[in-house]
Chains A and B, each alone.
Chain A
Amino acid sequence: MSNKQHVLTTYKQLIRALVKSSKRAKITQMKEDHKREIALLTYRKIGLVRQQASDPTSSSKGQNVHQLHDLTKRIQMLKSSDPSQRKDLHFYDNSSRLRQTIFQDLPSDESVLSKRLQHLSDLSGFVKNQLEYEQLVERYNPGLKMDQEEKVKRTAARVGLQVPDL
């Protein structure tokens, strides 16, 4: 019983660390994807509008209007949705594989088992500390994750200039 309890506690630690560390990366990834999709949809929309303008007597006008409406709706939806609010971020994706690797040959011997569990909790400690380390590095070096545009803007602002709006 206490063995089982111990295993569960260790598993919980591991899952907690993994969820916490994967969450940030996932949110960034999703935001990036969102941006890309919005750009793509906007591009398509512009294409449609151009096509309509160049060929006003087209037979598929009604269809075009419908498509345009659809695209606008999807862009609106993407813009209003916030990926950090999603509930599936709270779960670890690969848990079935993780379980397989952990539990397929769980040793029955007491000392070997405790060694294995110690190893697993070391792993979760590593994941947790690595996350913290990354956050600190990022906080102390704000330029690391800035994109080029932002960097140029701030560099110009430092000497009292402004980048022109294009």
Chain B
Amino acid sequence: MFSSLLRGSTIALRTASARSALRPVAAISRTSLVSPLRAYSTGLNRDDISARVIDVVKAFDKTTASAQVTADTHFAKDLGLDSLDTVELLVAIEEEFDVEIPDKVADEIKSVAEAVQYIASNPEAN
């Protein structure tokens, strides 16, 4: 009689522990349902981006006519940069916005406007 009582208590314990083990799982799934998205800072507007890109271009000591860098300056035509210079400039822009531009996209970027366009379309830029 005593042993059956003991057995009953262990069963009760087991169910209790099973329940308590279940509960946090439920809680976690509920909180993860509330905010499944991560909030990225999207405080970049186009004027900001273009001003920063222009600043970076101006800081590049190989630019010939650094005084007149505007939003639609072409790297090769207006600044006289060769392909290696362009690569350096793009790396600098990457560093400024803390992104990594994939090579295929980077080949297409040949002017300030295109760089601004890419940065604006990249959600990770900051």
Tell me the A residues contacting B by CB distance below 8 Å. Answer: 4-5, 8-9, 11-12, 15-16, 19-20, 23, 86-92, 95, 99
For B107, list chain A residues within 8 Å (CB): 5
Stretch at the interface among B1-9, B53-61, B68-76: B53-61
- What is the distance, in angstroms, from B59's C-beta to the closest C-beta of chain A? 4
Contacts of A19 in B (CB 8 A): 91-92, 95
In the assembly, what is the distance between CA of A20 and CA of B83, in Å?
A: 21
Q: In the bound complex, how far is the Cα of B87 from the Cα of A134, in angstroms?
A: 27
Q: List 13 A-B contacts (CB under 8 A).
A: A8-B83, A8-B84, A9-B103, A11-B84, A11-B87, A12-B87, A12-B90, A15-B87, A15-B91, A19-B92, A91-B61, A91-B92, A95-B88
> CA–CA, A99 to B84, complex, Å?
9
Contact A91 B59 (CB under 8 A): yes
B91 touches which one: A5, A16, A88, A99 (CB < 8 A)?
A16
Does B96 make an interface contact (CB < 8 A)?
Answer: yes
Bound Cα distance A19, B91 (Å): 8
| Contact present for B87 and A8 (CB under 8 Å) | yes
| Complex Cα spacing A39 to B53, Å | 34
Interface size for B (C-beta < 8 A) is 20
Are B88 and A92 closer than 8 Å at their CB atoms? yes
- Contact status of A87 and B87, CB under 8 A, knowing A12-B103, A19-B95, A23-B95: no
* Chain A residues within 8 Å of B91, by CB: 12, 15-16, 19, 90
Q: Does B94 contact A (CB under 8 A)?
A: yes
Binding site for A on B (CB under 8 A): 55-56, 58-61, 83-84, 87-88, 90-96, 103, 106-107
Q: Are A90 and B103 in contact (CB under 8 A)?
A: no
CB within 8 Å for A20 and B95 given contacts A8-B83, A15-B88, A95-B88: yes
A9: nearest residue on chain B (CB-CB)?
Answer: B103
Question: Contacts A12-B91, A16-B94, A20-B95 given: A87-B84 contact, CB under 8 Å?
Answer: no
Complexed CA–CA distance, A23 and B56 (Å): 15
A67 CB → nearest B CB, Å: 32
Give bound CA distance, A107 to B121, whole Å.
39
Chain A residues with Cβ below 8 Å from B93 are: 90
Known: A9-B103, A12-B103. A90 touches B87 (CB 8 A): no
Q: A88-B59, A90-B56, A90-B59 are in contact. List 16 more A-B contacts (CB 8 A).
A: A4-B83, A8-B84, A8-B87, A9-B103, A11-B84, A12-B87, A12-B106, A15-B87, A16-B94, A86-B59, A87-B55, A87-B56, A87-B58, A87-B59, A90-B95, A91-B59
